[in-house]
Each structure stands twice: as structure tokens, then as C-alpha cells.
Amino acid sequence: MSESKRVMADHLSVVQSSLMGMSFESLTLDSLLPIIFKECLKENLTFWFNYVENSLVLNLRDIRFENYELNIRYHYQPTNNDESIDDVKLQLLMNTFLITKDNVSVSNVASSKKQEEETLIISGDKPVPPHIRKAIDKIQSKGIPVTREAIQNHLPLGKMSTSARLECNKYLKEMD
């Protein structure tokens, strides 16, 4: 294996492992692209799609080295059914980054009741999201002053769903 392919495979495996620990609100192209792009940027990777005959190609490139590129092909048959090119792109992304339907967080009545029970309300203010409450507990156990910055540093962003991140960011902005 060439040096460039080995380096790219290493980068890809790091992105795959970081995405494995995440849960996603839904498996749509619009919801996955920003998350995958953000994780790729951490590894100095960028990606784009090309079409070659009946294949969709995902091109991964190291931003620092022009010749370090990995191309992943996904063969498909164009049909007139409901399957769109976005569906094919989604399938290629899921295959490349090892995202399974198990990564989707399913919200049902039982889990929402459990989340309501875990939601803490401090002195009549808005409810404190569970992730922020856990971060505050960690900070207090370390004897560190509870500040906005300390809370941000103790949030497990890689393990949080997109909606949980948005909820935490909104709550932190309101702290100011």
C-alpha cells in the first residue's frame, strides 16, 4: 500500500471511530453532512462527490497534501422509482463512515418521560439539560468554580446528539 493510501486510511479510521460513538437524530443527508464534514475537518480531510457512469464516487482528500486522496465508489442503477441521488449519496456516506441505523436515537414516550424526570429546574428558571447537569456535577466534584467556560469544557460533545448539542448551546448562551 502506498504511503498516501495508508495515511488516508488512517485518517478515515479516526473519523469512523469518532462517528461510531455518536447518535443521530435522523439518517438524512441534510443531517449527516454537517456532522461528517466537521469530523473530517478535525483530521484535515475534505470530501466531495463525483459521478462516473453508474457510479457515485466519494473523494476524500487531505487538505495539507494535494496527492493524498482516497476514492470510494458506489455502483447504482438509475431507476425511475423514488430513489433519488440523495438516497445514493446517503448510502455511500453511511457505508464509508460505518454509520448504521443503530446510531439513530429513537425518541418514544418512555424515553421522553425518562428525560422529563431527569430534567432539573433550578429556582424557577428554565430546565437544565441533562448533559449540562452532569458537567456541573463533574465540575463541582473537582472543586472547580462553575463557569460557562468550565461547563463547555466538560460537555461530551462527541457523544451527544445534534439536538442535545443545540439545547446545551442555547442554554449556555442564555447563561450570559
**Cα–Cα distances in angstroms (integers) from residue 167 to residues 5, 20, 101, 126, 130, in the given order:** 39, 22, 23, 11, 10
Confidence of residue 90 (pLDDT cuts 50, 70, 90): very high
Residue 57, class by beta-carbon neighbours within 10 Å (0-12 exposed, 13-18 middle, 19+ buried)? middle
Helix axes 85-96, 29-42, angle to 10 degrees: 40
pLDDT reading at 170 higher than 80: yes
Which grid cell is 171?
442554554
Better-scored residue on pLDDT, 77 or 111: 77
Confidence of residue 58 (pLDDT cuts 50, 70, 90): very high
pLDDT reading at 109 higher than 70: no
Which grid cell is 72?
470510494
Helix axes 3-20, 29-42, angle to 10 degrees: 120
- DSSP reduced 3-state for 130: helix
pLDDT reading at 46 higher than 50: yes
- Residue (of 33, 162, 41) closest to 104 by Cα position: 162
Residues 17-30: what's their mean pLDDT? 86
Q: What is the average pLDDT score of the chain? A: 80
Q: What is the pLDDT of residues 111-160, one digit of tens each?
A: 443 443 344 434 334 567 788 888 888 888 888 888 888 888 888 877 77
